[in-house]
Amino acid sequence: MKYDFAGIEPKWQKKWQDGKVFAAENGSDKPKFYGLVEFPYPSGQGLHVGHARPYTAMDVVARKKRMDGYNVLFPMGYDAFGLPTENYAIKNHIHPAKVTHDNIANFTRQLQMLGYSFDWDRVINTTDPAYYKWTQWIFLQLFKKGLAYKTTMPVNWCTSCKCVLANEEVVEGVCERCGSPVIRKEKSQWMLKITEYAQRLIDDLDGLDFIERVKTQQKNWIGRSTGAEVTFKATTGEDIVVFTTRPDTLFGATYMVISPEHKYVQAWKDKLSNWDEVDAYVQEAARKSDFERTELAADKEKTGVMLQGVRAVNPVNGKEIPIFISDYVLASYGTGAIMAVPAHDTRDWAFAKKFGCEIIEVVSGGEDVQKEAFTAKDDTGIMVNSGFLDGLTVKEAIPAVTKWLTEQGIGHEKVNYKLRDWVFSRQRYWGEPIPMVWCDKCGWQPLPEDQLPLLLPDVESYEPTDDGESPLSKMTDWVNTTCPHCHGPAKRETDTMPQWAGSSWYFLRYMDPHNPDALASKEAMNYWSPVDWYNGGMEHTTLHLLYSRFWHKFLYDIGVVPTKEPYAKRTSHGMILGEGGEKMSKSRGNVVNPNDVVAQYGADTMRMYIMFIGDFEKAAAWSDNAVKGCKRFLDRVWNLSEQVTDSLEHTAANESALHKAIKKVAGDIDAMKFNTAIATLMALVNDFYANGCSKADYGVLLLLLNPFAPHMTEELWESMGFAQAHGGRMACQQSWPAYDESKTVASTVTMAVQVGGKLRGTVTVPAGCDQDTAVAAAKADAKVAKFLDGMEIVKVIHVPGKLVNLIVKP
């Protein structure tokens, strides 16, 4: 019989579905395993191979965990609010809800086609009011605890999406989504105080099993730096506070720079003789994003204007120093003002050279600071020209000067974070309505919880308005409401939540997806929390992963969830590239569609290949030839079934290979080394062809292969009578085969034999044998014997299991 994947695969998919074979059980006494993958955005393109890699991987893990006896929760859902659907809806005049519905239907079909063992009764959809009711509920709790606030601030504005973007959504100065330029604009926005959790988001990484690069990226994004705030007096009387990580260099601060947005710039208007020049520079800076002002300008000439009429006094030596405005100092970091130390900071040095500022060395040990800045910060630099700090190392000088500043009342130690609060409103239609009401008398009022969900109303047009207001603002019937507090006339918030809202807590809903009274029951969360293993893309490390950890910590603080952290373990997969190693893209014409691969070779081949393609954590290039190789392997497994003997004993010659394979495949799956697990199975099949294969041997092979190629192995498990022999239970319902450790060790080893340090032959000896046995075997070898003829062995060097070296003399 031929391997008819097209007939086999739908048959088993139906059996799994109808029998609810992969349903996770709430309240079971079995140990639990919660394996999570990032739910897809149901775009019109459908599932791509970039989804198939992580989904197949966690499916293999989930199937293996079931065979290990776990009650497994492996859920799937749809993160369906957001711009691509809305833009498609606008273009094609279809309601975004309809677009979403159709796209979800397509995704579901594709996910089922690939044979994933999701619990299909737990599917969630973030645009379902029964779901977003709880997204809104969490927002209200954040508001009630003072962690959601509305403020006017300069925001990133995408000129094409006509929408505010979070810092995380601006990549290299352009919109992450559409690539259009991002400008700065003043807007009133809802913000979430993620900064309040900055330190905990760093500290609690310690207890987590996250891959190192994820931890590092999160820490860098949060960007903690320790230093000091120091107060400089302006000659006009104001205190100018700076943040510095190098208070030790205070004696070298020869000028100051404040950001063009600094409040004193406007306050000093009448005191500045060059106001026109200052004002022009302020306007110019306002047009640039922070990215343009820092990263893009890093190698460019510094710009700025010296303030004429105000100077500052360096508090350590009483020297008057000039004050500049320059766009390399950002308003949004630290205090928006710096003390410039050109001798030891490269940006300050470049600025000083251009504007002719004094450069004073205060840390010795580097090159001539008139030629380049010396930035060493360690214990080798020694303080000079620094009064009471002279002779100290940098390491000693930092606490010494901080202590002095504190005693003088002009400074103190300070920790700063790069992390900013999360801009949480979008002027778009297809998102969760923010459940807030504005009353002229009472200010912002939360919608009473019993009015949730606040439904997204149907609008005529989803087009964003030119003034940047949400399309909801045109729906006066919906907008006008009464104040929940004074019952007077009031207006609803018309902004919606950002795409990241629904995914910030979705893993909780899977635990109890149909609960009408809570986001999930306490019992369900106590049983399933935390997620045991979460695999997802590196691109989500600083966005989704940080946001969801923040929400989870908040929910923990208000007693809703039982654990501080949502995910015990986080891994990340590499990208799948096109043939030739380039990124898959429509324009390159190298996009692989899973539908085509499945139609031609079957889902099992697709799964095998995507797991065999290379190291899971690394990028890997698609190869049609290698897909064919995987198909040939499955054909070989299939054809082997016709040569299997009836014996229920293991074939003696296969025994050690079998035990080793059971151990190796299990360990490799747990370690996400799927490619080497498959290589082991391929070698095992070769052994079976070479040594013969009993029914017992073949049954083990089917179980080991089942997580990777579930359809074919179920078919063979059934047709060869294994299912019948096991009470009608499927392969996926069996226990992972046991192995005997003693049988996994090789019984013999091959050792190198040297005579006088030169390789003269090899011998095969029993594993673990002693020196005498090894020497005897060496002497008995004809090739070696030639070199021993007429010689006396004076010394033996024996490296057990590897080498015998016979030192001889005539």
Nearest-approach distance from CB 349 to ligand ANZ, in angstroms: 9
Burial of 100 per CB tally in 10 Å (0-12, 13-18, 19+): buried
CA-based nearest residue to 221, from 507, 491, 544, 515:
544
536: amino acid identity, one letter = G
Query: Residue 136 Cβ, how far from Zn ion at the closest point, in Å?
Result: 20
208 is a contact residue toward Zn ion (CB under 5 A)? no
* 491 lies in the site for Zn ion, by CB under 5 A: no
List the single partner that 185 binds among Zn ion, ligand ANZ, none, CB under 5 to 8 Å by kind: none
Specify the residue, 230 or 657, whose C-beta has the smaller distance to ligand ANZ. 230
User: In angstroms, what is the minimal distance from the CB of 486 to Zn ion?
Assistant: 3
Q: Which tokens belong to 168?
A: 């995380």
Nearer to Zn ion (CB atom), residue 260 or residue 446: 446
- In the complex with ligand ANZ, the residue whose CB is nearer, 159 or 245, is 245
Distances (CA, A) of 379 to 376, 383, 384: 9, 10, 14
The site partner of 77 among ligand ANZ, Zn ion, none (C-beta below 5 to 8 Å per kind) is none
Nearer to Zn ion, 437 or 644 (CB): 437
Nearer to Zn ion, 105 or 486 (CB): 486
Question: With CB cut-offs between 5 and 8 Å by kind, which of Zn ion, ligand ANZ, none does residue 441 bind?
Answer: Zn ion
265 and 282 Cβ atoms separated by less than 8 Å: yes
746 is a contact residue toward Zn ion (CB under 5 A): no
300: which DSSP letter? S
Q: Which does 99 bind (CB under 5 to 8 A by kind): ligand ANZ, Zn ion, none?
A: none
Binding of residue 440 to Zn ion (CB under 5 A): no
Locate 779 and state its tokens.
């002497």
Per CB under 5 A, contacts with Zn ion among 181-200 are none
Least gap, CB of 237 to ligand ANZ (angstroms): 23
Contacts of 231 (CB under 8 A, 6+ apart): 239, 240, 241, 315, 410, 411
Q: Which of 486, 653, 767, 780 binds Zn ion (CB under 5 A)?
A: 486
Residue 411 Cβ, how far from ligand ANZ at the closest point, in Å? 12
Nearer CB in complex with ligand ANZ: 228/666: 228
Give min distance, CB of 270 to Zn ion, in A.
41
Q: Strand 32-37 to strand 792-799: parallel, antiparallel, or no bridges (unpaired)?
A: unpaired
225's contact among ligand ANZ, Zn ion, none, with CB below 5 to 8 A by partner kind, is ligand ANZ
The listed partner (Zn ion, ligand ANZ, none) that binds 140, CB under 5 to 8 Å by sort, is none
Q: How far is the CB of 250 from ligand ANZ (least distance, A)?
A: 8
Q: Is 244 or 470 the residue whose CB approaches ligand ANZ more closely? A: 244
Nearer to Zn ion by C-beta: 166 or 490? 490
DSSP annotation of 539: G
Q: Does 530 sit behind a cis peptide bond, omega within 30 degrees of 0 on the bond before it?
A: yes
> Pseudo-torsion of CA 780, 784, 790, 791, nearest 10°?
-100
Strand 489-492 relative to strand 436-439, pairing: antiparallel
Partner whose binding site includes residue 341, from ligand ANZ, Zn ion, none (CB under 5 to 8 Å by kind): ligand ANZ
Q: Which does 338 bind (CB under 5 to 8 A by kind): ligand ANZ, Zn ion, none?
A: ligand ANZ
Q: Nearest approach, Cβ of 379 to ligand ANZ (angstroms)? A: 16
Angle, in degrees to the nearest 10, between helices 674-691 and 603-612: 110
CB crowding 445-469: b at 16 or more within 10 Å, else e? bbbeeeebbbebeeeeebbbeeeee
Q: Does 448 bind Zn ion (CB under 5 A)?
A: no
Pairing of strands 363-364, 382-383: antiparallel
Q: Give whichever of 81 and 232 is closer to ligand ANZ, judged by the CB atom.
A: 232
Q: How far is the CB of 538 from ligand ANZ (least distance, A)?
A: 23
| Interface segment toward Zn ion; rule CB under 5 A; list 25-33, 466-474, 482-490, 775-783 | 482-490
Identity of the residue, 336 or 498, whose beta carbon is nearer to ligand ANZ in the bound complex: 336
Nearer to ligand ANZ, 312 or 665 (CB): 312
Cross-strand bridge partners of residue 184: 156
Token pair belonging to 32: 């639990």
**SS3 state at 482:** strand
Three-state secondary structure of 202-237: HHHHHHCEECHHHHHHHHHHHCEEEEEEEEEEECCC
Q: Compute the distance between CA of residue 34 and CA of residue 567 in angstroms, rounded to an integer.
A: 10
Which residue lies nearer to Zn ion by CB, 153 or 442?
442
Residue 439 interaction partner, one of Zn ion, ligand ANZ, none, beta carbon < 5-8 Å per kind: Zn ion
Q: Which residues contact ligand ANZ by CB under 6 A? A: 225, 243-246, 249, 329-330, 333-334, 336, 338-339, 341, 344-345, 416
User: Given the rule CB under 5 A, which of 13-21, 223-231, 439-447, 777-785 is the region that contacts Zn ion?
Assistant: 439-447
Residues 161 and 175: their CA atoms lie apart, in Å, by: 9
Residue 476: partners with Cβ closer than 8 Å, 6 or more residues away: none
User: Residue 333: which of Zn ion, ligand ANZ, none does it interact with, CB under 5 to 8 A by kind?
Assistant: ligand ANZ
**Residue 628 binds: one of Zn ion, ligand ANZ, none (C-beta under 5 to 8 A by kind):** none
Give 265 or 439: the residue with its C-beta nearer to Zn ion.
439
User: How many CB atoms are located within 10 Å of the residue 188 CB?
Assistant: 11
Identify the residue whose tokens are 């074919």. 712
HSE on the CB side for 240, CA within 13 Å?
Answer: 32
Q: How far is the CB of 212 from ligand ANZ (least distance, A)?
A: 22
Minimum distance of Zn ion from residue 440's CB (angstroms): 8
Asked if 696 touches Zn ion (CB under 5 A), the answer is no
**Near Zn ion by CB under 5 A, which window of 391-399, 481-489, 726-734, 781-789?**
481-489
CA distance 222 to 384: 34
Closest CB to ligand ANZ among 404 and 622?
404
Residue with smaller CB distance to ligand ANZ, 249 or 651:
249
Shortest gap between Cβ of 135 and Zn ion (angstroms)? Answer: 25
Cα separation, 251 vs 315, in Å, equals 9
- Which of Zn ion, ligand ANZ, none lies near 486, with the C-beta cut-off 5 to 8 A by kind? Zn ion
For ligand ANZ, the closer CB: 168 or 348: 348
Contact between residue 600 and residue 563 where contact means Cβ atoms under 8 Å apart: no
Check residue 441 for interaction with Zn ion (CB under 5 A). yes
> Whose Cβ is closer to Zn ion: residue 435's or residue 536's?
435
SS3 of 755-785: the string is ECCEEEEEEEEECCCCHHHHHHHHHHCHHHH
Look at residues 238, 300, 305, 251 and name the one whose alpha carbon lies nearest to residue 278: 305
Helix (H, G, I), strand (E, B) or coil at 438: strand
The reply to whether 485 sits near Zn ion by the rule CB under 5 A is: yes
Q: Which helix (H) or strand (E) holds 188?
A: strand 182-192
Under the binding rule (CB under 5 A), the answer on residue 438 touching Zn ion is no
Work out whether 483 is an interface residue with Zn ion (CB under 5 A).
yes
User: How far is CA 731 from each of CA 1, 538, 679, 711, 717, rounded to the nearest angstrom?
Assistant: 21, 34, 21, 10, 6
Q: Which does 483 bind (CB under 5 to 8 A by kind): Zn ion, ligand ANZ, none?
A: Zn ion
Q: How far is the CB of 205 from Zn ion (least distance, A)?
A: 43
How far lies 615's CA from each of 283, 417, 610, 666, in Å? 51, 35, 11, 17
- 423, two tokens: 């801009």
Task: Pick one of Zn ion, ligand ANZ, none as the site partner of residue 485 (Cβ within 5 to 8 A by kind).
Answer: Zn ion
Task: Please say whether the beta carbons of 210 and 535 come within 8 A.
Answer: no
- Minimum Å gap between C-beta 495 and Zn ion is 20
Interface residues with Zn ion (CB under 5 A) are 439, 441-442, 483, 485-486
